[in-house]
Amino acid sequence: MSHHNHSPHHEHHGDSPCHKGGPEGDSQFHYRGGIVPTEAKPLTYEEVNKTVLAMLEPPTYRWWLFLGLCLVAVAIGGVSWTRQILNGMTEAGKSHPDMWGGYITTFVFWVGIAHSGTLISAVLYLFRAHFRMPIYRLAEAMTVFAVLTAGLFPLIHLGRVWYFYWLMPYPNERAIWPNFRSPLLWDVFAVSTYLTISSTFFIIGLIPDIAVARDAARTKFRRLLYGITSLGWTGSHSQWKHYTAAYLFFAALATPLVVSVHSVVSWDFAMSIVPGWHATIFPPYFVAGAIFSGIAMVITIMIPLRRIFGLERILEPKHFDAMSKLILLTSGILTYSYGVEFYTAWFSNNEFERAQFWFRPFGEVGAAFWGMTFCNCIFPQLLWIKTLRTNIPFLFCVTILINIGMWLERFNIIVQSLSHEYIPYSWGWYNFSWVDVGIVIGSFGWFGMWMTLFVKFFPAVAITEIKEILPAPRRTADAHH
Amino acid sequence: MSNAETPTVVMDKDILSDSIGAGQSRAAEPKVEGQTPTAKGGVSRRRFLQIVGATSAGAALAGCADDKSQLLKPRVKSEGGQIPGVPVWYSSTCTECSAGCGISIKTVDGRAIKVEGAKDHPVNGGGLCALGQSSLQSLYDPDRIRQPLKRTGEKYGVGQFAPISWDEALATVAEQLGKGGSESVFLTGEVSGAHLALMQDVSRELKIRHTVYDAMQPIALTQAAERVYGVREIPQFEFGEADVIVNFGADFLETWVSPVEYARGWAKGRRRELPAKTFHIEPRLSLTGGNADQWICANPGTEVRIALAVLKEVALRTAGANVSSELRTYIAGITKGVSVASVADEAGITAAKIERLIAELVGAKAPLVLAGGSAESTERALELQVLVALINTVIGAVGKTVLVGQGRRVDSSLEGVTALVDRLNEGAVGTLVIHGTNPAFTLPGDLSFRTAVRKARKVVSLATHLDETAQLADIILPSHAGLESWGLHTIRAGVYSLQQPAMAPVFDTRDVGDIIISLVTMLGVTLPQAGTEGSFRAYVKDFWLSISETWKRGDDLERFWHESLAKGGHLVKEAPALAEAVTVDALPTAFAPPHFGDHRSSHEELVVYPFSSVKTFDGRAANRPWLQELPDPMTSAVWDAWVELHPDTAAALKVAQGNVVAVRNHFGELRGPVLITPYIARGVAGIPLGQGHTAYGRYASSVGKGNVFDLIGRPKGGTLPLVSARAEVSRIAERHTLVTLAGSDSQHGRGLARTTHLTAAGAPLLAHNEHGSSHGGSSGHHEPKQMYEQREHPVYRWGMAIDLAACTGCAACVVACYAENNIPTVGKELCSKGREMSWLRIEKYIDTEGHGEGEEFTVNFLPMMCQHCNNAPCEPVCPVYATYHNEEGLNAMVYNRCVGTRYCSNNCSYKVRRFNWVDIEVPEPLSWQINPDVTKRSMGVMEKCTFCVQRIVEAKDTAKDEGRFVNDGEIQPACAQSCPTQAIVFGNLNDPDSRVSKLSGDKRAYKVLDHHINTQPAVSYLNDIKYRL
């Protein structure tokens, strides 16, 4: 495929609303990118502009309601965190030996969610997988906001959060540096690098679309907002030239991060000697899991947005079909990884590993293990059935279950392992406290708040890139004003 | 008379002085009008400064009449040999139980901060039990009575007291005592030496009856000793000499008579090339039972039958070599028709076990047979003790392991206290003065002491706490805690120990001796021994000088006195010779098993089986958070009183673990959560003694619902019939969380605490499955090949060796660690969330792996603290270097640097790191105990065992000043110091001649988990050794 020879701008001057798509009822178009639209009639450029920009229309009460809900959740989280800072970690349900519990579980959960954005936007971009076009913007936004959310948890879980900056290698008169051998420090760098690159990539991708929004903006505030954030985008040929180069560059830069971030997060566990953590399979296992959960989360978010904003013609069933296949693939990898953990425990003849992997399914909280297995390994197998892959309500169920299952996976890894270590006298258990729950709720509110604001302020579907996979409009007499 | 004796400064004898003028430290006493005694009013800063001033400056200013609070300026030159921050040690005697262990009290700036066993004391030889360690929390108990009180509310109302002055209080009591008409009674706990002499003087001069009651005294043992050996005493038991010990229920490693002394002796026997064998016969597995080579779970009450069979057999097999023909005939008479098979059947055990025990006894060179604890708490206590004494006589233990005529005197008398209750009920008692005992809590419920005491005209309490008995008093003259008091104790024949105050009193209390002397003085009686000042200190001194007459003491008696005080004044004199011969006429003839319950109880009801532990004792230490938070040695329960049931019993009652049951009988009722354990006889409800206070203090009254003493029937004979009642146990709809700290009772074959099993002949058994499946034998010595360059420790590498064969699991080290290292207690709720802060814990494991069926199992106690690994997993994971390895091999922890990721704890394979989940508020004056040499950790940081780095630093400083290296044995961490059996040895592993190096290289030595994860701990453990009998 020669995508770049067919840049969306070489037949028009950027995506300004004055370009009203192709002719109505024109049945002659050629397909680009090899994706055959399932609907007979493709979208026109104008329809794309209209549909996407309609999302930015003044909000309805439902939007306000949802934003309000998110803010309430954020407030719950804030109150919980404040309580914890004032009264100490005793407010959380952790214990000896479960020094990490809900927070790190939720941290890994959000880092995992943050994965798919970069995968969809960067990796699939490099692989020229065009089904990514309508999806990637949302996925990227999700990535950035999920990292923003995940990044809170290492802070929340600190015993003395007011000294969080000691984890940074900043020059100080005592010449004390952080311990570069500690996986937690690697985490700091991995997550902050990921946040920097993914948000830069995200913002760059947004520029042409913001320009579209700018040109269509009716209020002074929006003109100002988009005027600044579009960074003077005019859609000139040279801008596109540099833009595509930069985009490719960032895609290339972000791609290794897909692998590295979650690998580093997995080292938090794999580098320790806790039975159930100390395993070489962790990095690929975590990356696969992250992609799995990320894609599930993208679908979970896209389904209601598609309905609310009427994006049915942009987010077509074929896109869901493609993503379902990714879910099937990663579910398979994950199931294999789970199996390898058990196999290794048995094959190593290490009594502590064996005890741990006996404990997970058959211990006090085997339910968490079986819940995970059902949600991540068994139920997604139904996606082998083609009709189910495009059955939107079913997909919604699958992805919700996967989200739960992936949270449980991290819970199993973290809490179950810590609960059942070397010294039987010190076996213990972790119980959620209201503060834990409040903070997890708060994290969903925080994430939801950013997503809600984002879809109202910025184009949540990539206008320019959608057009890449549409038939180019033909210049006709009646089509031009 | 003086209420504020300044402790004698040991460090500098030239400026010795022992008195600040009376009243001076009282002059600025905060007077809180109408303050209820249990109000939480803290001790004011002024009062605190006053005490600091009084002790650091007071000595040099004796006799000055001005207010000491005027002198609280920092001194340019130190006075009285005291340098701020430099500890001063006082020698004294522990009065927590009547064992009489010598103690050294560490004081810093006038405050006692640590109690340790006195090194060369004839009783404890350096160790000190958990109870003794916790005496500091009695001294600084915020719930102590702070000034004299007078009841204001309704008679026998609770807690309605108002403060009064000492003069008024003493005058009132003296007036009452002076009134004629009815008798006055002094009811005290077990007292000896100077206290006993004073009581005898007072009762002689004032015609006051002196009654003694202490629930923990083995009265039947002394009665039996009188009848069989001819001396009424607790004979001196030489555990260290014995090679076979047969023990009917005496918990001698934990609470019985003199546990530190006995544990020390017992461990000596265990350390021999061929260790001593111990058989323990008890219906419940106690700490002592767990340490025995064989625990024989006999049905309660059948001990007397087993003893009878044993006596018969040993008499037959020794052919009466050690006994008179009269005694031989008597034994033949009482054992007629008794057979091992029949008593085994009664006891619910196999005859082979008794046969084995008899064979061992007969074959032993120095056997020792004991009975105590629950076994001597039945109506057949005397009979059992007589049989045991006869067995000892028959097998020739007397003179070898049972030294008669050198024992302890017991004055407690159940007959006495029962008679007192009867006289109270008759209205014959005028004034009842109570000190050092809590009969309203510890007398059997059937005696109804609380009702009877109301018939006394006036009840005077000389208590330290508003316990159940003090609550019933009309007037309370608060006495000093043990660490503030004078005393001279006769521990056993010829062994004396001095007690002196370590600091000025915390509250406006007085020495009980001083109070009594004041009272008799006011009644016109002069005690010449009390000197012109009329103080108990003078009385003690006089007593000391009179008993030491034959001692080499030089001409300067004053100097001798001070030197004695500095030394702790233990004096060992020649013991008197053995008393008169035995006559069988006084011996009992019927040895039927005891009857449980009375005519009102049915046989379906369970036998109430109260048991004592170092944690609860008889309830005397219930208001000490250290002991409440100390896990029960066998169940690891904290802050609770529970009901132990055998699984079969529980199934029959249809109750499950954690259900709440009511235990009811005719005398009383209690409620508690069920704890199901196979290590108790069927048909028995095991309930810890000493919980369920309704008064005493904030901690005591929060634990337990109901007092097990209340379920007990009236004493028959001279013994407290703790195991005599039956009660109905039924589930009730109540919720209660029983918090046990152990995550699992079993090692799951992981070889954490290892045991070498010996055959009865002493040959090591090659266990096919000693410690885990993946590795054979006790291959603790293989040095794995290391991939990386190893750390170097240029001068010192601190290490520890713990001999599991000597460790009894008594947890003295745990409490010592709390005291030394300012470890907060967190309370039950936080314990339930796994947030206890102990740096050192005793892990108890019971494993049946590799054994046969039935009761065959191994109990292990594993003290677990930071292992100071050379390859510490906690170190590399800390992102901020808050924990690191220092060049002396310590795994150091920098609290200030810690941000609280808690990763180190996750990665610690030994799970010995603790996190400060919350800032614990310690009420004043409990906080006065805080060791100034150890940082108080704040919320959000990790902490753990430091090997008592403050002591290491101190010793290194001293060594440096003297231009040498630290000597072996110079540093003793608090745990090692407190250990009664000296199972813990600390030192420099770089020195091949140090004790710790040698022990670490012992053939029994191994390191926990090291062969799995190559952590290279600095702590070596030495295999336990148990016979498989």
Angle between helices B303-318 and B325-334 (to 10 degrees): 140
Ordered domains of chain B (ranges, CATH):
13-141+481-572 (3.30.200.210), 168-217+412-476 (3.40.50.740), 219-408 (3.40.228.10), 606-740 (2.40.40.20), 755-1027 (3.30.70.20)
Name which of A406-410, A477-481, B496-500, B535-539 the model is least confident about: A477-481
pLDDT at B232 over 50: yes
Cα A137–A139–A144 angle (5° rounding)?
Answer: 95
Specify the pLDDT at position A460: 84
For every residue of B663-726, DSSP letters joined together read EE-SS-EEEEEEEE-SSB-TTEEEEETT---SSS-TTGGGS-BS-GGGG-----TTS--SS--E
pLDDT at B83 over 60: yes
The answer to whether the beta carbons of residues A286 and A271 sit under 8 Å apart is no
Q: What does residue A269 show for φ and ψ, rounded to 5 degrees?
A: -100, -50
Q: Which residue of A has its CA nearest to B902?
A: A99
Specify the pLDDT at position A398: 95
Q: Which residue in A99, A164, A431 is closest to B899 by CB distance?
A: A164
Evaluate the CA torsion angle A224, A230, A232, A235 in order and state its sign. Answer: negative
Residue B879 and residue A272: Cβ atoms within 8 Å?
Answer: no
Specify the pLDDT at position B494: 81
Specify the pLDDT at position B990: 95
pLDDT at B789 over 90: no
pLDDT at B836 over 70: yes
Residue in B770, B774, B839, B908 to test binding to A, most A beta-carbons within 10 Å: B908
Residue A184 and residue B836: Cβ atoms within 8 Å?
Answer: no
Q: How far apart are the first and last CA of chain A?
A: 33
Nearest-CA distance A331 → chain B (Å) = 29
Q: ipTM score here?
A: 0.88
- For B450, residues 6+ apart whose C-beta sits below 8 A from its C-beta are B440, B468, B472
Nearest-CA distance B887 → chain A (Å) = 18
Report how far residue B731's alpha carbon sits from residue B410's, in angstroms, rounded to the nearest whole number: 41
Task: Inform me whether the C-beta atom of residue B829 falls under 8 Å from chain A C-beta atoms.
Answer: no
> Sorting pLDDT into bands at 50, 70 and 90, what band is B110?
confident
Task: Inform me whether the C-beta atom of residue B699 falls under 8 Å from chain A C-beta atoms.
Answer: no
Tokens of B140: 């600084």
Report how far residue B198's alpha carbon sits from residue B536's, in angstroms, rounded to the nearest whole number: 9
Specify the pLDDT at position A53: 79
pLDDT at B552 over 80: no
Tokens of B634: 């066998």
Residue in A83, A86, A95, A96 to test binding to B, most B beta-carbons within 10 Å: A96
Q: Which residue of B has its CA nearest to A95?
A: B834
Q: Over pLDDT 90: what percentage of chain B? A: 66
Who wins on pLDDT, B78 or B754?
Answer: B754
Who wins on pLDDT, B927 or B319?
Answer: B927
Specify the pLDDT at position A174: 82
Specify the pLDDT at position A56: 79
Report how far residue B633's alpha carbon sits from residue B808's, in angstroms, rounded to the nearest whole number: 10
Q: Which residue in A99, A274, A427 is closest to B743 by CB distance?
A: A427
Residue B879 and residue A94: Cβ atoms within 8 Å?
Answer: no
> Sorting pLDDT into bands at 50, 70 and 90, what band is B96?
very high
Name which of A28-32, B92-96, B476-480 the model is least confident about: A28-32
Per-residue model confidence as pLDDT tens digits over B660-706: 999 999 899 999 999 999 999 999 999 999 999 998 999 999 999 99
Span B831-836, average pLDDT = 92
The answer to whether the beta carbons of residues B656 and B650 sit under 8 Å apart is yes
For every residue of A43-87, DSSP letters joined together read PPHHHHHHHHHHTTSSPPHHHHHHHHHHHHHHHHHHHHHHHHHHH
The answer to whether the beta carbons of residues B93 and B103 sit under 8 Å apart is yes
Specify the pLDDT at position B774: 38
Nearest residue to B220 (alpha-carbon basis) of B613, B722, B727: B722
Span B935-939, average pLDDT = 92
Report how far residue B740's alpha carbon sits from residue B676's, in angstroms, rounded to the nearest whole number: 12
Q: Is B850 helix (H, G, I), strand (E, B) or coil?
A: coil
| Cβ atoms < 10 Å from Cβ of B318 | 15
Q: Which residue of B has its CA nearest to A185?
A: B879
Who wins on pLDDT, B650 or B37?
Answer: B650
- For B340, residues 6+ apart whose C-beta sits below 8 A from its C-beta are B309, B313, B351, B354, B355, B358
Averaged pLDDT score across all residues of chain B:
86
Q: Over pLDDT 70: what percentage of chain A? A: 89
Q: What is the CA radius of gyration of chain B?
A: 28
The answer to whether the beta carbons of residues B792 and B849 sit under 8 Å apart is no
pLDDT at B488 over 60: yes
The answer to whether the beta carbons of residues B622 and B691 sit under 8 Å apart is yes
Residue A95 and residue B835: Cβ atoms within 8 Å?
Answer: yes
Residue A90 and residue B841: Cβ atoms within 8 Å?
Answer: no
Residue A158 and residue B915: Cβ atoms within 8 Å?
Answer: no
Specify the pLDDT at position B57: 44
Tokens of B370: 């004991």
Nearest-CA distance A334 → chain B (Å) = 25
> Sorting pLDDT into bands at 50, 70 and 90, what band is B584?
confident
> Sorting pLDDT into bands at 50, 70 and 90, what band is B26?
very low
Per-residue model confidence as pLDDT tens digits over B361-382: 999 999 999 999 888 888 899 9
For every residue of B329-344, DSSP letters joined together read HHHHHHTTT--HHHHH
Task: Inform me whether the C-beta atom of residue B896 falls under 8 Å from chain A C-beta atoms.
Answer: no
Task: Inform me whether the C-beta atom of residue B873 falls under 8 Å from chain A C-beta atoms.
Answer: yes
The answer to whether the beta carbons of residues A302 and A315 sit under 8 Å apart is yes
> Sorting pLDDT into bands at 50, 70 and 90, what band is B576?
low
Name which of A291-305, B70-84, B934-948 the model is least confident about: B70-84
Contacts of A97 in chain B (CB under 8 A): 743, 834, 905-906, 911
Element (H, E) at A250: helix A237-270
Who wins on pLDDT, B892 or B577?
Answer: B892
Q: What does residue B317 show for φ and ψ, rounded to 5 degrees?
A: -80, -25
Report how far residue B255's alpha carbon sits from residue B240's, in angstroms, rounded to the nearest whole number: 18
Per-residue model confidence as pLDDT tens digits over B972-1013: 999 999 999 999 999 999 999 999 999 999 999 999 999 889
Nearest-CA distance B774 → chain A (Å) = 7
Report how far residue A72's alpha carbon sits from residue B585's, in angstroms, rounded to the nearest whole number: 88
Report how far residue B255's alpha carbon sits from residue B249's, in angstroms, rounded to the nearest whole number: 11
Q: Which residues of chain A are under the pLDDT cut of 50?
A: 1-40, 479-481
Per-residue model confidence as pLDDT tens digits over B30-69: 333 333 333 334 445 555 554 444 444 444 444 344 444 4
For every residue of B396-439, DSSP letters joined together read T-BTTTEEEEEEE-----HHHHHHHHHHHHHT-EEEEEEES--H
Specify the pLDDT at position A218: 83
Q: Which residue in A351, A421, A429 is closest to B773 by CB distance?
A: A351
Task: Inform me whether the C-beta atom of residue B747 falls under 8 Å from chain A C-beta atoms.
Answer: yes
Tokens of B858: 């191994």
Specify the pLDDT at position B419: 93
In B480-554, at which residue ranges do the beta strands (DSSP E only) sit?
487-492, 495-499
Pairs of residues, one from chain A and one from chain B, whose beta carbons lie less than 8 Å apart: 174
Give the HSE-up count for residue B897: Cα atoms under 13 Å, Cβ half-sphere. 16
pLDDT at B246 over 80: yes
Nearest residue to A408 (alpha-carbon basis) of A364, A367, A358: A367
Q: Which residue in A96, A164, A429 is closest to B915 by CB distance?
A: A96
Residue B879 and residue A355: Cβ atoms within 8 Å?
Answer: no
Contacts of A354 in chain B (CB under 8 A): none
Window 839-868 of B: residues touching A by CB (8 A cutoff) are 841, 843-845, 862, 864
In B804-873, at which residue ranges do the beta strands (DSSP E only) sit?
841-847, 858-864
Q: Is the peptide bond before A471 cis (omega within 30 degrees of 0)?
A: no
The answer to whether the beta carbons of residues B845 and B753 sit under 8 Å apart is yes
Nearest residue to B29 (alpha-carbon basis) of B148, B141, B140: B148
Chain-centroid distance, C-alpha A17: 30
Specify the pLDDT at position B79: 62
Per-residue model confidence as pLDDT tens digits over B900-923: 999 999 999 999 999 999 998 889
Q: Over pLDDT 70: what percentage of chain B? A: 88
Residue A89 and residue B917: Cβ atoms within 8 Å?
Answer: yes
Q: Is A327 helix (H, G, I), strand (E, B) or coil?
A: helix
Q: Which residue in A159, A184, A423 is closest to B910 by CB distance?
A: A423
pLDDT at B340 over 90: yes
The answer to whether the beta carbons of residues B103 and B90 sit under 8 Å apart is no
Element (H, E) at B638: strand B637-638
Contacts of A268 in chain B (CB under 8 A): 903
